[in-house]
Every structure is written in C-alpha cells, then in structure tokens.
Chains A and B, each alone.
Chain A
Amino acid sequence: MKHSAVVRVTHWITAISFVGLLVSGIAILLAHPRLYWGETGAVGTDSLIDLPLPFVLTGQSGWGRYLHFLSAWVSLLTGLVYVVSGVLTEHFRKDLLPAKADLSLTSVADVISNHLHLRRPTEDESFQYNVLQQITYLSVVFVLFPLMIWTGLAMSPAITSVVPIFVTLLGGQQSARTIHFFAAGALVLFLVVHVAMIFLAGFRSRIGAMITGNAAVRKEHA
C-alpha cells in the first residue's frame, strides 16, 4: 500500500509533536509523581499509586507546560487533518476497517502466531495491514488519542466550567489526571511495538515508504 501524502506528512508531524508531548509530560509528572483517584489529592493524603520517581521539577516545570500545550495544539490540528482526510478518501474504511473474514478466531490466531514467531511479512502482506495492525491503529486513532484529549481537557478548570461532565464522568479531576497517565503509557507501549515492528519488517523500506510514499522499493531482505 502506498501511503498518501496527507498520511505521510501528518504521520511525521504527529511523531514530532508526540515526542514534545512525552518529554514535557514527563517533566510535568516529575513535579508531583503521585497519582490519585477522585477530585483531590496531595502530599499528606492517600494516593492511588506512588510512582518510583523523584519530586525533582517542583517549581520549575513551567517550560514543560508551555511545550506540552504547544505540542498538544500541533498534534490536535494535525490529527484533525488526518481524520477528516481519512474519512473523505475512505482510507479508514478501505485500509483500516478489518474485513469480517479477518475477524474470525482462526485468522486472528494466525496473525498472532506470525507475530509471536517474529515472521517477516511476505511482499504481498506488507502491502496491506493485517487485522492486528488494523485494530491497533484504529484503537490509537479513535480511542487513545481522543481519550488523551478528553482527560487533558477534564483537568482544565476553564474547560470544565463550560462542560462539567467532561470531568464528572471520569470521577473527578485527579481521576482524569490518572487516566491521562495510563493512556499515555498505552501510547508509549504502542510506539515501542510500532518501532520494533518497523525494524522487523525492514527499517529502510518502511521508513522510506512513510517518507517518499514509494512502497515498491522493497529490495531489503537482509
């Protein structure tokens, strides 16, 4: 499958803004690496989880916040272009919506077994997404990213003054923060597997395909 120009450009802008979000998110977390459930939480109250991280950026995480929101805007606007274009060009329906047949237990098991044996995709297979890729990409685009945006907005006292259910549905501002943390963790896990799979499938050809769109140049079989 040849990646369209919109997919390629939005992919790399998203990649850069994701790094910005991750680095700044860690900086913000290091000002208070404890997670709570409900509306409130502070040192001296019970926590849900005490992350094994130091309180190192107290009083100096301002740049983290600036970078986080700048990256969030870039990521959000890029994501909007990607989603609108994916709907209009039917990219989602044609390439990412799993076929009914692929969702059967045996065919899913096949794909999982291929992955577990670290079997390289054949030439043909690498031109379309398998069912695991489809489910993963759809979850990242339509579940994890929206959840990040939702839980992020739920932490904003300005936004929740307009739409209180953003935070009440999640059980409180600190719950929103905790879910934001775990959804971010899921995205990092996705990134790790995503990059590992690119190495498995042939780093240069896959990266080349996402830069030039030219998937036909796939001679790398080392």
Chain B
Amino acid sequence: MSEQLTRRKLIVSGLAAAAGVSGLAVARRLAARYALIPPDSGGIYGVGETLTYASQRLLMSYHSLAREFERSQISKVIPVNGPPPDNDTYQRLRAGDFQDWRLTVDGLVARPSSFSLADLKRFPSRTQITHQACEEGWSFIAEWTGVPLSYVLNLVGVSPQAKYVVFFPFDQSWDSLDMPDAWHPQTLLAYGMNGEDLPTPHGAPVRLRVARQLGYKSVKYLARITVTDTLKNIGEGLGSYSPEVGYSWYAGI
C-alpha cells in the first residue's frame, strides 16, 4: 500500500515537473513572440528583469499616460548628473547655436532623413509637465516641449519588422526603446524645457523624453536615431549603454 502511494507520488511529481518545464518553455516562446523579453535578460538577474518588463508591458497600454502636473508644481531645483559631451563635434555645433546640427533617422525606414532643429520646431508639438525620478532616488517636475517621436517615425515610414528604436547621442550613453514606448504619445524629441530652449546641461539641442521610465532612459544630446529589428550588433548587444555599466535596460521600475 505504502509502496503504491510512493509510486503514485513519484508519477504525479514527475508529471508535475514535466508540465512545469514545458510550461516554462511555452511561456518563454510566447514571451519572445509578444516581445516580453528585455535585451538584458541573461543571468540570474535577468529572471527578475524579464518578470518586471513582461508584467509591466502587459499592464500598460498606449493609453496609459504618465501623470501630468500644474505649472505651479514645476520644481525650482533640477539637478544634473554628468557634464555635456566634450568632443569637438558637439562643442563646434554648440558654438554655432546648433544651426548646423542635424538629427539623422535611418535603419528600417522607408525614407531615411535628417532634420534640422528648425525642421523639428515646425512639426506639431506637445508640451507636458511630468515627474522624473533619477535611479538614485531624487526627483523633480518639469515642463517639456517637443515633437512626439511617433510623428517623426510616421514621416520616415517605419518598417513592420521594426522592434526597437535606438538613440545615439554625442556621448557614449546610447539607449533604445521598444516600439510601445517609441509610439507612446508622451515620448518626445524635446527641444524646450520650462518654456525656454533646452539648456545645454539638460541635453541641448534635443533630448529624448520617456515619461514612463526613470530619468536615465531620456537620452540627452541626440545625434542619430536608428530603427532596427535587433539589438544584438549594437554595443555589447544588451540594448543600451546602461547594462554595460550595471543598470537595467528597462527602467519602468
């Protein structure tokens, strides 16, 4: 009798283990198919990253908007981490008030283009007052004005194969967004802050604004945008500069 029970237990737990393993395999394939696995999903920490990214992606929609605030709530103190790029190209463009600056948009697009600051300012703009937290813990509220990234993506005609939009600044801090964040209405190519031109320490002439993630995803000093279906060949293949220095690619926290 007890032997039988043991055998039954053995069979049941064997079946349960098999179901568990194949369930995980199925979950992994489904997750990959619906773009729920972040580019830095390797290693033990990747398990937590994938759970966070997948669950937040499933919870959020195009219509989930980061909270917006009143003008009176704009912070008086807005700290800055890190200096502007010290390379000659950036310094020269800055000295010329960014008249010669161009934003290149290429990759998996029908019409590769480059835009001047004046071009971007002619496009329909969006102004939003949002809260931004730094991964260190401090935070501020500011008003941002810019052209929605979705408008520019529509202008250049994004290929259906596109999975990521990659942002290259004048320094090393490149980053990328998945398509849901790239198309999100609050994702801006911002050229204005608190009613004025974007100040140099905050990313002049144009920076990215990603309202639903931590501050470090909002790449400053933009130079080039590339649309791609894979991040494997860029940098160390982890999706951005952040994982190369120990920070997660996805920062919706």
Contacts and interface: CB of A to CB of B under 8 A. Distances in A.
Q: 9 shortest A-B CB distances, which residue pairs? A: A158-B252, A70-B48, A62-B246, A32-B137, A42-B138, A62-B247, A66-B45, A44-B77, A31-B136
B58 to A, nearest CB: 10
A66 B246 CA distance: 9
A78 to B, nearest CB: 13
B140 interface: yes
A173 B131 contact: yes
B65 interface: yes
A164 interface: yes
B136 A32 contact: yes
A162 B64 contact: yes
Contacts of A41: 138-139
B56 interface: yes
Interface in B218-253: 242, 245-248, 252-253
Interface stretch (B86-94, B159-167, B207-215): B207-215
Contact of B67 (A62, A67, A69, A160): A160
Nearest to B52: A69
Contacts of A61: 135-136
B75 interface: yes
A155 B73 CA distance: 18
B60 A158 contact: yes
B24 to A, nearest CB: 14
A185 B85 CA distance: 41
Q: Chain B interface mostly helix, strand, loop or mixed?
A: loop
Interface in A40-60: 40-45, 58-60
B176 to A, nearest CB: 16
A174 interface: yes
B54 to A, nearest CB: 11
B133 A173 contact: yes
10 contacts: A39-B69, A42-B75, A42-B140, A45-B76, A58-B136, A156-B253, A157-B133, A157-B214, A161-B60, A162-B59
A39 B139 contact: yes
A22 interface: no
B106 interface: no
Most chain-B CB neighbours within 10 Å: which of A65, A73, A155? Answer: A65
A204 to B, nearest CB: 30
B45 A159 contact: no
A73 B48 contact: yes
Interface string B32-48: 00000000000011011
Contact of A157 (B59, B73, B141, B253): B253
Interface residues on B, range: 35 or more
Interface of A: 28-29, 31-32, 34, 39-45, 58-63, 65-67, 69-73, 155-162, 164, 167-168, 173-174, 177
A59 B216 CA distance: 11
A122 to B, nearest CB: 36
B15 interface: no
B187 to A, nearest CB: 12
A202 B9 CA distance: 35
Nearest to B67: A164
Contacts of B66: 157, 160-161
A161 B52 contact: no
Interface in B151-175: none
B143 interface: no
A157 B212 contact: yes
B11 interface: no
Contact of B242 (A32, A60, A62): A62
Given A31-B136, A32-B137, A174-B139, A156 B75 contact: no
A28 B45 CA distance: 16
Contact of B213 (A31, A42, A158, A164): A158
A70 B52 CA distance: 9
